[in-house]
Amino acid sequence: MTRKYITGLLLIIFLSSCEKAIDSGDIIVKFYGDAYEDIGYSVVKADDGYVITGQLTEISRNPGNYITGSEKKFGVIKTGSDGNIVWQKILGDNVSAAGSKVIYEDGQVICVGYSIDSVSLQKDIFVVKMDSDGGGVVQKIFKSEGNQYGTDIIKTPAGFLILGTTDVEQGSGESTGNAPGKKDILLLTIDDNLDQLLPPVGKGFPGNDEGIAIKQEKNGGYIVVGTTDRSDNSENGQAGNNICLFRVKADGSTTQIRIIGDAVDESAADIEVLDDGYLIAGTIGKEGFDQRGYVWKIPSDIYDEPESEHEILINKATSDKPSFSLKAICRYKTNSFLMAGQYREASSSRMLIFATDIDGNMIDGKIIVEGGTGNQIAFDVICDDENIIAVGKNSYENNSMISLLKFRF
């Protein structure tokens, strides 16, 4: 397999608020942030550039430029098509916060994530909306009696549907609800003004369930993918964490959860809707040397058996099977997909982006493993005509910066 690597000058120097760049031909690498921990979790194409959301650490310094304090904040960055910053917002007022997903609708930027209550230290769902120029900021925090956070958000005719996770007890029956202290998948409907429309809906089992991604279906409903520690058939190898799926109908009602998994320790990364089903990207194996990317092709009837499922082979021509995990998937050209994540582990990890066919098989020559000094990971990937844009973080020692990689195969 032909590989394309970006290597070289990726040493991060953390001194002051900065934007660093490595531009070479069709490849652009940008870093954003300051000291300590800055992370990019999601990116979306805007009319005239890109918008990134994640975590930006707000730094306080004395006149001698020594750091006197820091606070992790909900960060939003607008860039031009060249990756240069147009504007940057640090949100969350006086509490710690972070953004997990950004979408762009009708000239407006909408992000979801979480904030941390300064008294209870529990997480709450945090949603922000602003104009494309960074103005007109609206912020809304949704409180609960426990921890809850948003992982994804999607536009609906009535406003927005938030996918999240909560540990607020939803009932502890054998097949539904979560016991106290356990997590459940959460659905929260809000209007265009970010006001709550309906009571939140919890979905899951007595153990731990986590909402990962939501996508719109062709019939007006939505499909949700998540990770659960519930096993329907542990004797057949379905043990540890598994993939779970359910539908949200146009009227807001939900279908029964479908559990998928024949390997040990499976975690969902993302889902794409096909003409006749779904393609799920995820990871199997415990974190570390034994992790591998994995794909499931699911028919339109999610309760039927998967049409196919298989481990993704990075090194098909050799016996080397490097550890890697997947974090995101998106469409790429006609009937192709991009997958992104982390190649290898610990201090040697790199950004990983590659293309697959509709069955999740890698396309020869369509892979990038990017990195140099430090630890890199891609949390999201999108396709902009011929360009591919990935965001994540680049860590060095105890610091990290938001990283943006723009390239084409």
The Cα 221–Cα 278 span in angstroms is: 14
The Cα 60–Cα 58 span in angstroms is: 7
Closest by CA to 289, choosing from 328, 334, 320, 316, is 320
Q: Please tell me the pTM assigned to this model.
A: 0.91
Distances (CA, A) of 94 to 71, 74, 76, 112, 116: 9, 11, 17, 18, 10
Nearby residues of 140 by Cβ (< 8 Å), 6 or more positions away? 126, 127, 128, 190, 194, 195
Closest by CA to 22, choosing from 376, 384, 371, 396, is 371
Print pLDDT tens along the chain (409 aa): 333 333 333 333 332 334 444 444 578 999 999 989 999 999 999 988 999 999 999 999 998 888 888 999 999 999 999 999 999 999 988 899 999 999 999 999 999 999 999 899 999 999 999 999 999 999 999 998 899 999 999 999 999 999 999 999 876 566 667 887 899 999 999 999 999 999 999 999 989 999 999 999 988 899 999 999 987 665 555 567 999 999 998 888 899 999 998 767 899 999 999 999 999 999 998 776 688 999 999 999 999 999 999 999 886 555 567 889 999 999 998 889 999 999 987 667 899 999 999 999 999 999 999 876 778 999 999 998 789 999 999 998 889 999 999 999 9
Nearby residues of 17 by Cβ (< 8 Å), 6 or more positions away? 33, 34, 59
Q: In which residue are the tokens 């279908």 written?
A: 255
pLDDT at 16: 32
Enumerate the domain spans of the chain: 1-33+323-409
Q: Residue 259 is encoded by which pair of tokens?
A: 């559990």
pLDDT at 35: 87
Closest by CA to 129, choosing from 120, 121, 141, 139, is 139
Provide the 3-class DSSP secondary structure of residue 308: strand
The Cα 78–Cα 247 span in angstroms is: 33
The Cα 133–Cα 104 span in angstroms is: 12
Q: In which residue are the tokens 């020692």 written?
A: 397
Phi, psi for 355 (deg, rounded to 5): -105, 145
What dihedral do alpha carbons 352, 355, 361, 365 form, nearest 10°?
A: -90
DSSP state string for 355-400: EE-TTSPEEEEEEEEE--SSEEEEEEEEEETTEEEEEEEEEETTEE
CB 340 within 8 A of CB 326: yes
Phi, psi for 236 (deg, rounded to 5): -95, 20
